[in-house]
Amino acid sequence: MITAAELGHLRRHVGQARASGKSIGLVPTMGALHEGHLSLIRRARAECGFTVVSIFVNPLQFGATEDLGRYPRRPEEDAAMLAREGADLLYLPEAAAMYPPDFSTAVEVRGVSEGGEGAVRPGHFRGVATVVAKLFLQVSPDAAYFGRKDLQQVAVIRRMTRDLDFPLRLVVAETVREPDLLALSSRNAYLSPEERRQAALFPKALFAARDRVSAGEADAGRLGRDTRAALEGAGFAVDYADVVDPETMRPLDRVVQGAALAAAIRLGKTRLIDNVLLLEP
């Protein structure tokens, strides 16, 4: 596996791969890799001739009071995992190179980035869209891989990709979960053993809502309110629990085909997000 910290180095290797007829897959991550990330990497490896994994804890997408400083960083374990998985290139850009002191440009994806996470984390999706646009331009992948766990991120990137004509295919992979259904997340490392046990009640409430839809519930407002109450009853602070259209991220009145229930909770100092598809499209 090649490791590249500089853009010139990255471009040289990606250029060579493309010249030899290989398609390029990109998996953007913030590291502290787990099976959720690996599922994206395996998919990229299956579909592309040359798989680039980026690890960059993007300061632009963290608010001033958020966890940028304590976000888990495990560069050596990550590199060993990626080598084992057969990733072709690990791209580790430096923040100072990505964002020189007079960096002045931002990508703003209006509408779809404003509710949900965007309402609670102002500027978050501007940071995400800006870094993903840079990575798309730096790597020029044929396909880019994202996880459905970050539902609104997928919506924002899908819209940006269309609006700005990025010539690539977006691939969205299913959420990988622990046996108790907690979605894998680098932030799960923050949980104490007691919090980790309690955290299983988060996906449980989301899947209970999905079961109610299977049993005929179609009132999206009631489902959102009841889910919020269930999460609060389980001891979480709830940022939101909304039934949304995953393309637009607009709240829905009725549970229509393709509707998702997206939620964010806080447990001690840890903030977790998750979502479930309520009704197959």
Site stretch for ligand AMP (CB under 6 A), options 71-79, 114-122, 144-152, 188-196: 144-152
The residue among 173, 151, 112, 121 whose CA lies nearest residue 260 is 151
The CA-atom distances, in angstroms, between 250 and each of 70, 84, 148 are 32, 40, 17
Contact between 263 and ligand AMP by CB under 6 A: the answer reads no
- Between CA 81 and CA 44 the distance in angstroms is 15
The CA-atom distances, in angstroms, between 57 and each of 120, 223, 229, 238, 245 are 20, 35, 34, 25, 29
Nearer to ligand AMP, 202 or 223 (CB): 202
Is 124 marked active-site?
A: no
Q: Report helix, strand or coil for 144.
A: strand
Contact between 30 and ligand AMP by CB under 6 A: the answer reads yes
Contact between 131 and ligand AMP by CB under 6 A: the answer reads no
Contact between 37 and ligand AMP by CB under 6 A: the answer reads yes
Among 150, 160, 209, 220, binds ligand AMP (CB under 6 A): 150
Nearer to ligand AMP, 25 or 147 (CB): 147
Among 14, 25, 29, 53, binds ligand AMP (CB under 6 A): 29
Nearer to ligand AMP, 18 or 169 (CB): 169
> b/e for 1-29, b at 16 or more Cβ within 10 A?
ebebeebeebeebbeebeeeebbbbbbbb
Among 51, 130, 152, 185, binds ligand AMP (CB under 6 A): 185
Contact between 36 and ligand AMP by CB under 6 A: the answer reads yes
- Between CA 263 and CA 10 the distance in angstroms is 37
202 close to 211: Cβ distance less than 8 angstroms: no
Nearer to ligand AMP, 80 or 229 (CB): 80
The residue among 140, 111, 137 whose CA lies nearest residue 125 is 111
CB of 151 to ligand AMP, least distance (A): 9
As annotated, the active-site residues are 37
Where do contacts with ligand AMP occur on this chain (CB under 6 A)? Answer: 29-30, 36-37, 39-40, 146-147, 149-150, 173, 175-176, 183-186
